[in-house]
């Protein structure tokens, strides 16, 4: 009986550790793809290209900001809750913890929300292409 209980608890632990990753992968699918849009912050307008992909069960991504010569800046710290997503640009040359926090529209083809960096806050919008 003790061996069966230990095996059952071990299996339960494995399932608990695996389920959050599986849920992230499933929740992330609507975001996967290429998105074009812009950031508007402090009176400045910057075109952006967001790329999201699933690597295994983890969401990954990059952002390009052509006007600043920025290409393939890594995105990290993904948090997904339904149609809402938050993520950060993670690059040593980009100060101020640039953070996106947005939500998909009902059709799942547009993403919009807030962009913040170093105390400045603005908006961003992107459409899936």
Task: For residue 11, report the phi and psi dihedrals to the nearest 5 degrees.
Answer: -65, -40
DSSP assignment of 1-64 equals -HHHHHHHHHHHHHHHHHHHHHHHHHHHGGG-EEEEEEEEETTEEEEEEEEEEEETTEEEEEEE
| 35-81: pLDDT as tens digits | 999 999 999 999 999 999 999 989 999 999 999 999 999 999 999 99
CATH number at residue 76: 2.40.128.120
| 87-120: pLDDT as tens digits | 999 999 899 999 999 999 999 999 999 999 999 9
Q: What's the whole-number average pLDDT of the chain?
A: 86
Residue linked to tokens 């990954």: 60
* Residue 26 pLDDT exceeds 90: no
* Residue 93, domain extent: 2-128
* Residue 6 pLDDT exceeds 50: no
| Number of domains comprising the chain | 1
Under 8 Å between Cβ of 59 and 52:
yes
């Amino acid at each position: 009986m003790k061996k069966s209980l230990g095996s059952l608890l071990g299996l339960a632990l494995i399932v608990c550790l695996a389920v959050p990753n599986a849920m992230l992968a499933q929740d992330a699918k609507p975001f996967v793809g290429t998105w074009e849009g812009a950031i508007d912050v402090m009176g400045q307008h910057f075109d952006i290209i967001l790329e999201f992909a699933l690597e295994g069960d983890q969401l990954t991504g990059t952002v390009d900001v052509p006007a600043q010569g920025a290409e393939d800046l890594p995105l990290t710290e993904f948090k997904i809750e339904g149609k809402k997503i938050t993520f950060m640009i993670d690059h040593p040359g980009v100060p101020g913890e640039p953070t996106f926090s947005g939500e998909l529209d009902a059709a799942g083809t547009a993403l919009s929300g807030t962009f913040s960096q170093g105390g400045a806050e603005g908006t961003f919008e992107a459409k899936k292409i």
